[in-house]
Amino acid sequence: MLLSTRHLEAFYGDFQALFGIDFEIDPGEVVAIIGANGAGKSTFLKALSGLLKAPRDRIWFDGRAIGGMPACEIARLGISMVPEGRRLFPSLSVRENLSIGTHSGRRGPWTPERVLGLFPVLRELLSLPGNAISGGQQQMVAIGRALLANPRLLICDEISLGLAPVAVKGLYDTLPAMLAEGMTLIIVEQDVGLAQRVTQRLYCFQEGRVSLQGRSGELSRSAISRAYFGV
């Protein structure tokens, strides 16, 4: 497997947010994480990407223990995240926001020209500030920035949040191009039906624990509902 966690716990001070998360993803796989607000999804992603401390031997990437490593080192190993809310720098142009992704120093198929080919609308927006474009366009920049790090594992946290359906469809239509390069994807998604359609396996989190996991197309809506709401 490419990445796995074993009994992963996470804390904010004295508050425990994750309780023994076991998770795994194979190379080239697309896996969804669903769950209600406060279920621990974003906390889990922060631990994977080095934004939240974790014991070294609780997170493994490509056979190496990476728990608690600095985020910059994890990025250099090949893990990149599209954060919830996009997190663009408003004082930087679209071009400058994209260029941040190249700072990992990793080589690979994703170049600025390749990203602009994936999101051609950005060509006309490169000189604009990051906060002067639409929400869907900002999400394209956030994804493009992550791709320019040439990751082996791309983590997408709520990329459809607050976007119009047509913008969401456009973003998810780009997934085949990413997967064609051997990308592995973890997607946190509030739209359960969409999560089932675009992924191979699914994990449901509830109060910091895995309440359900399985093949996305084989999990019933009733089972997902019970795991999602804890009833």
CATH number, residue 43: 3.40.50.300
Whether 62 maps to a domain, the answer reads yes
What Å distances lie between residue 85 and 65, 118, 203, CA to CA? 29, 21, 22
Whether 134 maps to a domain, the answer reads no
Least confident of 23-37, 154-168, 199-213: 154-168
Residues 210 and 195: their CA atoms lie apart, in Å, by: 16
Residue 192 pLDDT grade (very low, low, confident, very high; cuts 50, 70, 90)? very high
Whether 100 maps to a domain, the answer reads no
Judge whether 21 and 7 are in contact, CB under 8 Å: yes
Domain count of the fold of the chain = 1
Whether 138 maps to a domain, the answer reads no
Whether 79 maps to a domain, the answer reads yes
What Å distances lie between residue 174 and 83, 228, 231, CA to CA? 17, 28, 36
Whether 108 maps to a domain, the answer reads no
Which residue type sits at 154? L
pLDDT of residue 164: 81
Q: What integer is the mean pLDDT of 7-34?
A: 95
For the entire predicted model, the pTM comes to 0.91
Sequential DSSP letters for 78-104: TEEEE-TT----TTSBHHHHHHGGGGG
Whether 141 maps to a domain, the answer reads no
Domain containing 174 equals 3-88+153-229
